[in-house]
């Protein structure tokens, strides 16, 4: 895909040390994600998918390697600098939704903006726009416990996009949903991508991996293959992609 690489990883590794045991969660990862691209990270449980996403989102620090985010190195940033980038440049969507139970839908979506010192009028405008985008504006006064799982994930998506981040990182966004709500959330992510969002999504479900432009496959902490997810889906359906 044309354009500058928004994310550039080179030789990224992560080793966990427990007493005398070394666990290599990631080994020599090289990955580029272009602006406007939708990339899925697939692979079996324990292969390093979530660890990779945590490093991309500056939630975890690697053992080795380089990481450029929007052409800027992030290796030596302080904790406060990393937190600022997470707040302003990265939108997170988690499997467990991670909504705050004693805050309303509106307040949950507004929360990331409060750390920016943004004026109340602008926060209100952005929150309403984000909730309307995901079809949840009519529930802004409700609490998470009053929503279905699918509705909670839509609110989580609104919270992720309200700050207009450079990239959305989604960790198994359909993992706690039934197939109907899972399909609806994936359709929403695809709509956001069609509108220009850059998305990197971890999933174990090949149906959802194929929604992306490109699928990166991990095994034992290493990238073992990459493919055009749409082409692969067509091939599996029996369509002759060579025509």
Beta strand 167-171 with 199-202: parallel, antiparallel or unpaired?
parallel
This model's pTM is above 0.75 = yes
The pLDDT value recorded for residue 20 is 79
The CA R_g of the chain, rounded to the nearest whole Å, is 18
Of 230 and 62, more confident = 62
Read off the pLDDT of residues 100-148 as tens digits, 9 standing for 90 and up.
999 999 999 999 999 888 899 999 999 999 999 999 999 999 999 999 9
- Checking if the pLDDT of 1 tops 60, the result is no
- Please list, in sequence order, all residues whose beta carbon lies within 8 angstroms of the beta carbon of residue 96, skipping any fewer than 6 positions away: 176
Read off the pLDDT of residues 162-205 as tens digits, 9 standing for 90 and up.
999 999 999 999 999 999 999 999 999 999 999 999 999 999 88
Domain ranges of the chain: 5-237
The pLDDT value recorded for residue 157 is 97
Distance, in Å, from the CA atom of 199 to the CA atom of 213, rounded to the nearest integer, reads 10
The pLDDT value recorded for residue 60 is 92
Report CA 80 to chain centroid distance, whole Å.
Answer: 21
Report CA 213 to chain centroid distance, whole Å.
Answer: 14
Distance, in Å, from the CA atom of 77 to the CA atom of 171, rounded to the nearest integer, reads 24
- Checking if the pLDDT of 242 tops 60, the result is no
How confident is the model over 8-12, as a mean pLDDT?
A: 94
How confident is the model over 46-74, as a mean pLDDT?
A: 93
Q: Which CATH architecture has domain 5-237?
A: 3-Layer(aba) Sandwich (3.40)
The pLDDT value recorded for residue 85 is 95
């Amino acid at each position: 895909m044309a354009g500058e690489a928004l994310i550039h990883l080179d030789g990224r590794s992560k080793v966990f040390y427990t007493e005398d045991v070394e666990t290599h969660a990631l080994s020599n990862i090289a990955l580029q994600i272009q602006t406007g691209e939708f990339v899925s990270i697939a692979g079996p449980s324990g292969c390093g998918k979530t660890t990779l996403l945590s490093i991309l989102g500056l939630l975890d620090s690697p053992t080795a390697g380089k990481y450029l985010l929007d052409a800027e190195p992030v290796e030596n940033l302080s904790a406060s600098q990393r937190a600022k980038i997470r707040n302003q440049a990265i939108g997170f969507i988690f499997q467990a939704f991670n909504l705050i139970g004693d805050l309303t839908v509106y307040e949950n979506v507004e929360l990331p903006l409060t750390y920016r010192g943004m004026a109340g009028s602008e926060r209100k405008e952005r929150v309403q726009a984000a909730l309307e985008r995901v079809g949840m504006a009519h529930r802004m006064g409700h609490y998470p416990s009053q929503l279905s799982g699918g509705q909670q994930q839509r609110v989580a998506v609104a919270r992720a996009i309200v700050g207009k981040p450079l990239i959305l990182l989604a960790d198994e966004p359909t993992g706690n949903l039934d197939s109907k709500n899972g399909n609806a959330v994936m359709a929403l992510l695809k709509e956001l991508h069609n509108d220009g969002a850059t998305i990197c999504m971890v999933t174990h479900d090949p149906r959802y991996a194929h929604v992306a432009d490109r699928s990166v496959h991990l095994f034992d902490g290493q990238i073992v293959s990459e493919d055009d997810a749409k082409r692969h889906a067509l091939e599996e359906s029996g369509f002759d992609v060579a025509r």
